[in-house]
Copies of this chain bind each other. A is one copy, B any other.
C-alpha cells in the first residue's frame, strides 16, 4: 500500500464504506507528500489521491479484504466525479507500472455508469494482469445518497489532496514598516 514512509500517513484511519451484495467499496484520502525546502517552507512533492478500495463478497455481509483491489483517483479524476450529471458516465485508465519496464502488464480501469433509472451509479473496477493472466471485475451499485456523501466529502478533501489546507490559518502575513512588498500583477 501507499504512504508507508515513517508511517506518518497511517495516523488516521477513516474510510467511507459501502457494502453491497457482490462487493464492498471504501474511499479515503491519501495525503500529499511534501519536501522541506532549505528555508523551512513546505512544497508539495506529490499530490494526494482519493483511494478507492474494492473487496469481493465471500458470504452475506462478509468481504475478502485480502483480495482487495485499489484505484487511486487523481485530483483531476476527483474533479470529473464531482461534476458528473445523473445521466453521465466516465471512465479512467491507470497503469501502476507506467514509465517502468513493467509498463502495460497490469491495466486498471474504473468506470462510473448511471443506473437505468438514474437513481445512482454502477462503479466498476476492472484489473487485467497479463503476468498473472487474471482479469477481475468488481462492481458496486451506488445510490444517489451514497454518491452525494462521496461528492460532498471528496469536495472537502480536494484542497487537502493538493496541500491547500495548509494555507488555512497559516501564520498571518503582516505588513511591516520599511519593507516593500511586490505588487500582485
Contacts and interface: CB of A to CB of B under 8 A. Distances in A.
Interface residues of A, number: 88
Contacts of A94: 185
Given A156-B159, A167-B12, A185 B44 contact: no
A36 B174 contact: yes
A33 to B, nearest CB: 5
Q: How many copies does the complex hold?
A: 4
A123 interface: no
B7 A39 contact: yes
Given A6-B179, A182-B3, A33 B165 contact: no
A17 to B, nearest CB: 9
Contacts of A95: 185
A91 interface: no
Contact of A15 (B40, B44, B51): B44
B35 A77 contact: no
Contacts of A8: 171-174
